[in-house]
């Protein structure tokens, strides 16, 4: 079967993404050949495509998460067999019909998790896991703020925080996204298009502010995020959909003796043990109904450029899946 991939040969807008022929060889020692059934789309894909993040090679195959079926095993691979359903997250390379992968980066899928859901939650779900268990371990009775509450990570955070007894305040753009976030665990949702989000956050907390802010927006929100924190609160900056925090200074934290961190998912799943432990927690939360992942829209994998346009135009809700 002739394989295909989405390839960019130079950084730029969605127009640089080409649907091209793709060579996939036989798996070597420790490798597995996986045929993709669903590929997840994430905002970080646009950072690589645009050149904001450096490319690993001269050409780029974007995509950071996918699900598929094992087709062949290299020497020394144990615990997997042809026909097994698996999923993974890696920084790039998933926008293709099939690829070779290190066996220790694959997670077997339980029957309770479909391929489409798995492709939509490996990066986003594991991100939500480390954010609320490690970056700021939110506890029962605390109040936190989440930006982009109607996005893929945001919808998972709202549900998971509610299950932990945490009061989550969210921001979202427009009444439809506000309603969607409210339906996914948020106690209060603020339409940032209607004005400054800081006053309604402070009003919702009786002037006290929040223990932590989970901010994936960046340039447009970071100052307001700090203004919403209680003294000694935590600012978790895990994305920059509106641009980088170029003018952020450590001295900005002195306003309330704040703490800040800039976590990266792949540092939290660096070992096979960490990856599979977090994935087991994620899949259990889905199976138990704690999380109901929302695949808001899908495109054929060949139309990845259109999906990038919609994502950057804030025309998506929940997760987006690309189907080979």
Q: Specify if 127 maps to a domain.
A: no
Q: Specify if 223 maps to a domain.
A: yes
Q: Is the pTM of this model over 0.85?
A: yes
Please give the residue range of the domain that contains residue 234: 140-262
Provide the mean pLDDT of the chain.
96
Average pLDDT over residues 108-118: 96
CA–CA dist 38, 322 (Å, integer): 6
Q: Specify if 131 maps to a domain.
A: no
Per-residue pLDDT tens for 218-277? Answer: 999 999 999 999 999 999 999 988 888 989 999 999 999 999 999 999 999 999 999 999
Q: Cβ distance 21 to 3 under 8 Å?
A: yes
Strand ranges (DSSP E) for the chain? 3-8, 17-22, 31-41, 65-73, 85-89, 98-102, 107-108, 143-146, 167-172, 188-191, 210-215, 229-237, 259-261, 295-300, 319-323
Q: Cβ distance 215 to 235 under 8 Å?
A: yes
Looking at the fold, whether 315 and 208 belong to one and the same domain comes out as no
How many independent structural domains does the chain possess?
Answer: 2
Q: Specify if 133 maps to a domain.
A: no
Tell me: pLDDT of 1 over 70: no
Looking at the fold, whether 149 and 210 belong to one and the same domain comes out as yes
The CATH number of residue 314's host domain is 3.90.180.10
Residue 217 burial (10 A CB sphere; 0-12, 13-18, 19+): buried
- Find the angle CA(14)-CA(18)-CA(24) to the nearest 5 degrees: 130
Q: Specify if 31 maps to a domain.
A: yes
Per-residue pLDDT tens for 2-22? Answer: 899 999 999 999 999 999 999
Residue 21 burial (10 A CB sphere; 0-12, 13-18, 19+): exposed
Looking at the fold, whether 7 and 88 belong to one and the same domain comes out as yes
Of 262, 282, 301, the position where a domain reaches its end is: 262
Of 262, 280, 300, the position where a domain reaches its end is: 262
């Amino acid at each position: 079967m002739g394989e295909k991939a989405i390839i960019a040969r130079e950084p730029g807008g969605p127009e640089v993404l080409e649907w091209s022929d793709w060579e996939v060889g036989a798996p070597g020692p420790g490798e597995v050949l996986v045929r993709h059934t669903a590929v997840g789309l994430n905002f970080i894909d646009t950072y690589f495509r645009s050149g904001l993040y450096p490319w690993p090679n001269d050409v780029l195959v974007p995509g950071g998460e996918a699900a598929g079926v094992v087709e062949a095993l290299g020497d020394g691979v144990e615990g997997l067999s042809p026909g097994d359903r698996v999923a993974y997250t890696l920084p790039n390379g998933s926008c293709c019909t099939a690829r070779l992968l290190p066996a220790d980066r694959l997670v077997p899928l339980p029957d309770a998790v479909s391929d489409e859901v798995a492709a939509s939650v490996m990066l986003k779900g594991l991100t939500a896991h480390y954010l609320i268990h490690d970056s700021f371990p939110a506890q029962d009775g605390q109040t936190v703020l989440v930006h982009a509450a109607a996005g893929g990570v945001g919808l998972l955070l709202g549900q998971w925080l509610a299950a932990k007894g945490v009061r989550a305040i969210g921001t979202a753009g427009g009444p439809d996204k506000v309603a969607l976030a409210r339906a996914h665990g948020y106690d209060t949702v603020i339409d940032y298009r209607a004005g400054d989000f800081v006053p309604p956050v402070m009003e919702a907390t009786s002037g006290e502010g929040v223990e932590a802010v989970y901010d994936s927006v960046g340039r447009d929100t970071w100052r307001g995020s700090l203004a919403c924190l209680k003294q000694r609160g935590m600012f978790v900056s895990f994305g920059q959909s509106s641009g980088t925090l170029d003018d952020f200074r450590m001295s900005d934290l002195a306003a309330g003796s704040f703490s800040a961190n800039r976590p990266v998912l792949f540092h939290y799943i660096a070992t096979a043990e960490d990856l599979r432990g977090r994935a087991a927690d994620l899949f259990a939360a889905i199976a138990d109904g704690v999380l109901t992942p929302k695949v808001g829209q899908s495109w054929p994998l060949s139309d990845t450029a259109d999906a990038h346009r919609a994502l950057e135009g804030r025309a998506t809700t929940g997760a987006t899946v690309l189907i080979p």
